[in-house]
């Protein structure tokens, strides 16, 4: 029977019928694996964003026209192999994210905590280095 509310316990089915835990050792090992996959998700997201930033170029605004608020990603300027690689990274990262979401839908509180803490630790290790995803330029015509 599938739980519809959060519960605590070592007996949980994660993603597949073959991934069931009946002992504390199996349960804890599963939590460690989910923690690692969640941290890996953040690592892959960092790689995808950095790959995307490599293709970014600063647009030069036309004379007399103010600078844009956000610099666009020059994905169309990347060659087909780079665009294909970017799409593959996005697909893999999306698949990992959805699998983590489905694992949380087991409604086991330990699984939920392992995934959320794994995401937080992964963000701390891989994505909190101060690099911004978007470059914001000064807008000379912004209304105050």
pLDDT at residue 60 greater than cutoff 90: no
Distance CA 1, CA 85 (A): 41
What does the pLDDT read at residue 128? 85
pLDDT for the residue 130: 66
Q: DSSP characters for the chain? A: ---SS-B--S-EE-SSTT-EE-SHHHHHHHHHHHHHHHHHHHHHHHHHHHHHHHT-----PPTTSPPPSBPPP-GGGS-HHHHHHHHHHHHHHHHHHHHHHHHHTT-BHHHHHHHHHHHHHHIIIII-SS--SSPBPP-TT---
What pLDDT shows up at residue 49? 85
Task: Please give the Cα distance from 108 to 13 (Å, whole number).
Answer: 9
pLDDT of residue 75: 47
pLDDT tens digits, residue range 102-133? Answer: 999 999 999 999 999 999 999 999 988 765 55
Task: Determine the average pLDDT of the residues in 59-67.
Answer: 52
Instruction: Give the predicted TM-score (pTM) of the model.
Output: 0.74
Would you place residue 76 in the very low, low, confident or very high pLDDT band (cuts 50, 70, 90)? Answer: low
Q: What is the pLDDT of residue 141?
A: 58
Sign of CA dihedral 130, 131, 132, 136: positive
């Amino acid at each position: 029977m599938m739980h519809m509310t959060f519960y605590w316990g070592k007996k949980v089915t994660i993603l597949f019928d073959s991934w069931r835990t009946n002992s504390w050792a199996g349960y804890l090992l599963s939590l460690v694996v989910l923690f690692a996959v969640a941290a890996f998700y953040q690592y892959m997201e960092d790689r995808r964003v950095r790959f995307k930033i490599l293709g970014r170029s600063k647009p030069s605004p036309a004379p007399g026209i103010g600078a844009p608020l956000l610099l666009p990603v020059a994905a169309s300027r990347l060659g087909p192999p780079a665009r294909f690689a970017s799409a593959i990274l996005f697909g893999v990262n999306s698949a990992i994210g959805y699998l983590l979401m489905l694992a949380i839908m087991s409604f086991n509180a330990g699984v939920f905590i392992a995934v959320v803490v794994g995401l937080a630790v992964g963000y701390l290790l891989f994505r909190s280095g101060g690099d911004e995803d978007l470059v914001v330029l000064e807008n000379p015509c912004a209304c105050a």
